[in-house]
Amino acid sequence: MNTKSGKRGPLAVAARKDRNRKIAIQAAIALVLVALVVAIGISVSRKSSDNKAEQTAVPTTTESTAAPSVLTPDGAIRIGDPAAKVVVSAIEDFQCPACKQFESMTGPTLSDLVASGTVAVDYSPIAILDRMSSTNYSTRAANAGFCVVEADKAAWPAWHQAMFEAQPKEGGAGLTDDRLVELATAAGASDPDVAQCITSIRYGTFVGSNTQTVLAGGVSSTPTIRVNGVQLRNPTPDALRAAVTAAAAQQ
């Protein structure tokens, strides 16, 4: 008996409909999965771009490669008698917690020695801890120091002390430019050009090159304190006074 026929039976038709329905469902699921993958990819890409932008964001600058005119030949800020026979060199980073500790403990002794005419102090603000802030704070702070001393050297000691007292924690954004300007103004450097110098990071390029020069001279950490070129390993007030006395006796 011949079972083939040009017409399909009810079971065959139902099977075909069921098969088509399954294919349609599978196709729909595939489209949803593709759309989901694309959406996730776009979201990850945007998040990555946003994170990269946050990590690389740095202040807009109008930098000058020139050094401030009031510096010593080796790029330091000299406070005290320009012709002093004993010179204490203080190499610091404004983001450095150990520098804050040094200034809190030994800074008053340095100030007394300068006031007595015994020594001059050569301050060298460098930037080795930019990685510890999200805004290159070490560079911005050192730049602000050069802006202050260029405008009014007499304002430097008070500003320098205030900067360490207001030192921000590592890992954050650091003090804002507006706050740096406020500290400069409070210390006596109120010339309008100081604010422009700070916000434009005028000496940013110099800070970078001077930092490399200082590091090439054997400095590996901050603070580095030297008395007539000889490094003081434990710069306590008593050790500093003893080193200064010894250096003066050799003159």
Reported as a single tens digit per residue, the pLDDT across 55-105 is 333 444 455 568 888 999 999 999 999 989 999 999 999 999 999 999 999
CA 194 to chain centre: 20
pTM value is: 0.74
What pLDDT, on a 0 to 100 scale, did the predictor assign at position 180? Answer: 98
CB under 8 Å to 225, separation ≥6 — which residues? 88, 89, 90, 91, 102, 106, 231, 232, 235, 240
Higher pLDDT, 21 or 229: 229
DSSP designation for 67: P
Tokens of 4: 């083939």
Give the confidence band of 230 by pLDDT, cuts at 50, 70, 90.
very high
The answer to whether 144 touches 182, Cβ cutoff 8 Å, is no
Lowest-confidence pick of 43-52, 85-94, 124-133, 215-224: 43-52
What pLDDT, on a 0 to 100 scale, did the predictor assign at position 251? Answer: 84
Question: Mean pLDDT: which of 43-47, 60-64, 180-184 is highest?
Answer: 180-184
Higher pLDDT, 16 or 94: 94
The answer to whether 121 touches 90, Cβ cutoff 8 Å, is yes
Give the confidence band of 19 by pLDDT, cuts at 50, 70, 90.
low
Give the model confidence (pLDDT) of 198-208 as tens digits. Answer: 999 999 999 99
Lowest-confidence pick of 13-27, 32-46, 159-173: 32-46
DSSP designation for 1: -
Lowest-confidence pick of 8-12, 48-52, 103-107, 179-183: 48-52
